[in-house]
Amino acid sequence: MYDRLAPIRPRVRSGLERAFAADHTPHEVAASFAFGVFFVAMPTAGTALALFALIGYFVERASRLALVATLVVFNPPVKWAVYGASFWLGSHLLGPVSGASVADVSLSSGLDILLRQLVGNTVLAAVLAVVGYAVTLQLARLHHRRQRSASPAGAAESRSDDARPDVPS
């Protein structure tokens, strides 16, 4: 098996090195993560990876690593919990559906259940995106400061944490 993967390894390695070496401001990383959180938390039927690939290709300021990180964070068990919480929240906001429970949620369960699922999911995804942005922004700023203080030239720089690394201030 390792022999079959040998031709692919250099491409994968160079791709990962480019992703980690990419220069993004803390805001760009946090915004990319927040967008990813919002999109992945919604019932998108697995289209997130394709969308993130397109965004990563066409949007220079998007952090590919932050987008992919949302796929890792929102793995299937987490998504199931998000969908359950979404139905609960939607039912709390719009009122319960008589005779329906969290176990009954599916597309064939009716418009009332689907509406509660989507409303709850949208609200929950927005809240998770805002929280994800705030947490990621703080972590990215901390990482940025550590990198600058570790480099000899970084200590002399007066640029703010949110300045583009490749554009002089």
Question: Residue 16: pLDDT band by 50, 70, 90 thresholds?
Answer: very low
Distance (Å, whole) CA 2 – CA 40:
32
pLDDT mean across residues, the chain: 80
Average pLDDT over every residue of 59-73: 89
In a domain, 84, yes or no: yes
Low-confidence winner among 2-6, 27-31, 159-163 (lowest mean pLDDT): 159-163
The owner of tokens 């998770």 is: 128
Please write the tens of the pLDDT for every residue from 26-63: 899 899 999 999 999 998 877 888 999 999 899 989 99
Angle at 148 between CA 146 and CA 153, to 5 degrees: 150
**Residue by residue, what is the 3-state secondary structure of the chain?**
CHHHHCCCHHHHHHHHHHHHHCCCCHHHHHHHHHHHHHHHHCCCCCCHHHHHHHHHHHCCCCCHHHHHHHHHHCCHHHHHHHHHHHHHHHHHHHCCCCCCCHHHCCHHHCHHHHHHHHHHHHHHHHHHHHHHHHHHHHHHHHHHHHHHHHCHHHHHCCCCCCCCCCCCC
Q: Look at 49 and 13; give whichever has higher pLDDT.
A: 49
Number of domains present in the structure of the chain: 1
The torsion of the CA quartet 107, 109, 111, 113, rounded to 10 degrees, works out to -100
Q: Are 26 and 162 in contact (CB under 8 A)?
A: yes
In a domain, 168, yes or no: no
In a domain, 45, yes or no: yes
In a domain, 9, yes or no: no
Residue 161 has pLDDT above 60, yes or no: no
In a domain, 156, yes or no: no
In a domain, 142, yes or no: yes
Residue 2 has pLDDT above 70, yes or no: no
Distance (Å, whole) CA 11 – CA 138:
32
Distance (Å, whole) CA 137 – CA 130:
11
Give the pTM: 0.73
In a domain, 76, yes or no: yes
Contacts of 35 (CB under 8 A, 6+ apart): 55, 62, 67, 129
In a domain, 80, yes or no: yes
Domain limits for position 89: 25-150
